[in-house]
Every structure is written in C-alpha cells, then in structure tokens.
Amino acid sequence: MRRVRSRDGVTGRRPRTVPGPSDHVVVVGAGLAGLSAACHLLGAGRRVTVVERAALPGGRAGRWELGGFAIDTGPTVLTMPELLAEPFAALGEKLGDRLELTPLDPVYQARFADGSRLAVRADAEAMEAEVARFAGAREALGYRRLRRWLTRLHDAQMRRFVDTNFDSPLELLRPDLLRLAALGGLGRLEPRVARFLKDERLRRVFTFQALYAGVSPARALAAYAVIAYMDTVAGVFAARGGVHALPRALAGAAAEAGAELRYGEPVLALERRGERIVAVRTPHGRLPCDAVVLTPEPEVSYRLLGRRPLRPLPTRHAPSAVVLHLGVRGAWPSLDHHTLSFGAAWRRTFHELTVAGRPMSDPSLLITRPTASDPTLAPPGRELLSVLAPCPNTRLGPGPEEWRALAPGYRDALLATLERRGLAGLGAAIEEESLVTPAYWSDQGHPAGTPFSLAHTPAQTGPFRPRNLVRGTVNAVLAGGGTTPGVGVPMAVLSGKLAAARITGGAR
C-alpha cells in the first residue's frame, strides 16, 4: 500500500508516517491504546491482528472476579466521552450503542480534615452555589473565573498540543504557544489556581489532579489544569459494568470489524530485516506484518526492538499507588461514586511521594464506590469499594520485596485511617479483599513499579515526551501512557489514534 503523507488540518504541517506497505498491522497489547489503534486502523482499511498476553482485553483497565464482586483493576474515573467515542466512530459506530454511560452528580465528594465537605459538580450554576455555601460569595465568584480559565486553557491545548503528532520540539514555536503562554499555561499550577481561589481546601480540589501527571501541584505546569477541566467542567461518567466495560466494548467493535484478537499470547520477540519489523513471534508461532504498534511501556518496547532511546536526560517515572479493593456487607450511602478524603497535610505529602520516597504520613485518598451507580458489580446487599493511596515508585521509595513485607501493616493503617475519617465499622464489614502494592505492578512488568508510567515533567511533556516513532525502526509505532500524549483513560485512547495516524496518514 502506498505511503500517504497527510496535512494536519490545525497546524498545516505534515506529520511523518510509516514508509512502505502497511496492509497488515500487528498491535501488541489489547489495552485501551492498542484497541483504539486497532479500531482506527480497521477504519482506514488495514488488516489488524491484536496479540495480548492476558486472557481478556483491557490491559491496566482489567477485571478481577472475587467472591461475586467485579473489580476494576485499573482506572476508576471516566471523563471526556467525546474522545472515547472516536475509535467507535472510525468504524462507523456510536459509543452509546456499545457502552452505557451515566453522568455523575456530584463528580466527587470532597472530605477535609476539619470535617467540612464539598460536593464537586460539573454544572456551573450548581457548583457556584455549592462553593458559596462552602466558602462564601467571594470564592464563588473566583470559581466562575477559574471555570472560564480552565475552559479557555482546554480549548487552547486539546487540538494543538494534545491531539497531535509532533516530530520536533521546534513545532512548538508557533502562535498557539504564545496563546497558551498568555493564558498562564507555562507557569506553575498551584500559584495560578491561587489567583482565583483563596480557600486552601478549594485549591486542593482543582490541583490534586497534578498527581495523575506524576508531579506536585507546586511544580506542575499550569497547562495541566486541563485535567481539572476534564472532571470538574466536562464531568465524570459511570459506565454500566464498570470501567472494564470500555475495553470490552472496543474489543467487540474491533472483532466485528474484522480484527483478529489473540488472547493469552505474549510477544517473545520481533523479527527484524534491516530497519523494518517483518514479524512478531509468540509462543504460538510467527505473525508476519507490514507494521507494528507497540503498547507496552517504552522501556519494554525498546527491549523488544533491541534499541535504546536517545535522550539527553534519564526518564523519570510517576509515583505509584497502593489500592485496597474491598467487598463489604451492607450499604455505605455516605460515600458517593467517587469520594476524595484529604488529610490535613498537603505539601508534605507531595514531598514524601516525589522527593523523600516514603509513603504518605497523612494520606489523601480516592475512594471509589462503583456500586453506587451499578449495584450489579456486587452480590445483593453488598458494596464494592476501592481505596487508592498514592505512594512512591520503587526507584525512589521501597522496592518490591520491601513492599511485600510492608503490605500487611500498611493495609491495617489504611483501614484505621478510613475508620477515623467516618467509615466506622468498615473493617468488620469486609467479606472479600485484595491489596495491590507496587510489588504487583512490578510483577506485571511496569518499570519503577508504577501503573502511571512517565511523569509529566517539562522534559517529558508534549514533543519532549518519548515520541511514538522509533529511531532506527521505520515501521514500528508506540502507543500508551509512556508516549504522546500521556497518561489517563482519554489520553490512552488518543495515543492509539495518533499511533494509527502514523501508519495511515490520517491527521484527525
């Protein structure tokens, strides 16, 4: 098939594409990025084979069945359904025909150490009234101004800096960058949000998302307030069947469009001929291909390729997480679908996570109760809770073996913290549980024991992030959280789209 070079409709430039034939593409990994790439490739007329080491689709967005409880093993927050709809649209389908999404109200319940509570709502008028109740009319006015800024920041970035393939950092030097700078996007996140909100509790609600990018709010670029836009303005959604229903839906759409999905089939090696990958080897044999999309972490993909990335600075990984999954008796209506439980400490916790390399002494936690939206995820009369506690990655903090020793005590401390913060009787109500630590992530092959990939430091953002084209291999493309545009469910889906565009020439 002839190579196509496509002009980007927003910037006018021509992103590089894979040269030579691309009729048959092998996608390594059936996570969100790989399945998104498969759908876009199929929509462009390519033949696609997806190989996945696990027994089901999803990658990090997998599923455990534990005593009748259906547990999402990875992300629990779904945002930006318009981006999630794109791979389905590439196949001529509608997201709503494959996945039932319900907007959450509130998107979060925020609980603070002083006992105060805030219902975080995506609706502007409802949230303004809630902020006025919580912190007064002046802060409500500041919220309105913050919301307008978040929207303008999102509009300035999404199509020009996020949903685009970069070939060089020099491509940043265009008027769009001046617009982003004029909005304050190149400054620091925490001081910028403080211009709108004086109440420290409110500032937490609009800056804690920086941890998703792997940096503290004090050091994160203000441009990463776009993550706060995604949940506090665009809204958070619940999927019928849990977050794992999204990769199941993508896999179903891809299979019906002609993709061959091969589960339980890890990749052993890539067969090379000069600068091209000509086949993928698995325990079941040899898969000839014209191009390959690699969705494991960049370190893993480069090992398969027999190459080393050329970077002037070593890569830095994001913090990791301990996740306690609980199947409990009774109803827990005091918890919303998502509850943020903030400790009294703030800056100290980020120092512990990103500098000192030790677990948070006064943790801030994300508690997800998916049965608030879909009771079928648990047996009758039961609830499913997942408690996420950020922790240092294994290159900065305790290593995998240390975590195996720390795990029982950390679990007990986490339950004690939750009971002190209003969930009395939680420990006695547990019927099923599973504790996930960085040791698990390491066992799954995630570098630095973190599922959150590379941190979004300035040196690992935009065109400075590991690119999705590979030097020295002309027909291999990367996708996933470790490459452009970054981490999170919408970004993983976008990365698959951008990887497919490197092969098909499609810009958007």
Alpha helices in 71-217 (DSSP H): 81-84, 86-90, 95-98, 124-135, 137-157, 175-182, 189-194, 200-205
Looking at per-residue pLDDT, the higher value among 139 and 214 belongs to 139
- On whether both 310 and 324 belong to a single domain, the answer is no
Residue 377 has pLDDT above 90, yes or no: yes
pLDDT in tens, 443-452: 999 999 999 9
Residue 175 has pLDDT above 90, yes or no: no
* Model pLDDT, residue 461: 87
- On whether both 170 and 286 belong to a single domain, the answer is no
* Model pLDDT, residue 506: 67
- On whether both 173 and 280 belong to a single domain, the answer is no
Which residue, of 189, 210, 231, is where some domain finishes? Answer: 231
pLDDT band at 479 (very low <50, low <70, confident <90, very high): very high
- On whether both 334 and 435 belong to a single domain, the answer is yes
> Are 77 and 492 within 8 A, CB to CB?
no
Element housing 38 (H / E): helix 32-43
Residue 295, domain member (yes or no): yes
- On whether both 377 and 408 belong to a single domain, the answer is yes
Which of 68, 73, 69 has its CA nearest to residue 57? Answer: 73
For 447-508, the DSSP string reads GGG-TT-B---GGGSGGGSPPSEETTEEEEEE-STTSSS-SSHHHHHHHHHHHHHHHH----
Which residue, of 231, 255, 289, is where some domain finishes? Answer: 231
- On whether both 138 and 262 belong to a single domain, the answer is no
Which of 43, 74, 328, 107 has its CA nearest to residue 235? Answer: 107
Residue 117, domain member (yes or no): no
- On whether both 433 and 466 belong to a single domain, the answer is no
pLDDT band at 3 (very low <50, low <70, confident <90, very high): very low
Residue 17, domain member (yes or no): no
pLDDT in tens, 128-152: 999 999 999 999 999 999 999 999 9
Determine the 3-state secondary structure of 258 from DSSP: coil
Q: Provide the token pair at 124.
A: 């502007």
Strand partners, 188: 221
* Model pLDDT, residue 12: 53
CA Rg value for the chain: 22
Residue 174 has pLDDT above 90, yes or no: no
* Model pLDDT, residue 172: 78
If one counts the domains in the chain, the total is 3
- On whether both 383 and 486 belong to a single domain, the answer is no
- On whether both 381 and 462 belong to a single domain, the answer is no
Q: What residues make up the domain containing 372?
A: 317-453
- On whether both 385 and 299 belong to a single domain, the answer is no
CATH code for the domain in which residue 245 is found = 3.50.50.60
pLDDT in tens, 58-104: 999 999 999 999 999 999 999 999 999 999 999 999 999 999 999 99
pLDDT cut 70: percent of the chain above it: 97
Residue 481 has pLDDT above 90, yes or no: yes
pLDDT band at 212 (very low <50, low <70, confident <90, very high): confident
- On whether both 408 and 500 belong to a single domain, the answer is no
- On whether both 459 and 447 belong to a single domain, the answer is no
Residue 139, domain member (yes or no): yes
pLDDT band at 159 (very low <50, low <70, confident <90, very high): confident
* Model pLDDT, residue 160: 83
Element housing 154 (H / E): helix 137-157
pLDDT in tens, 92-105: 999 999 999 999 99
Which residue, of 438, 453, 468, is where some domain finishes? Answer: 453
Question: How much is the average pLDDT of 456-482?
Answer: 92
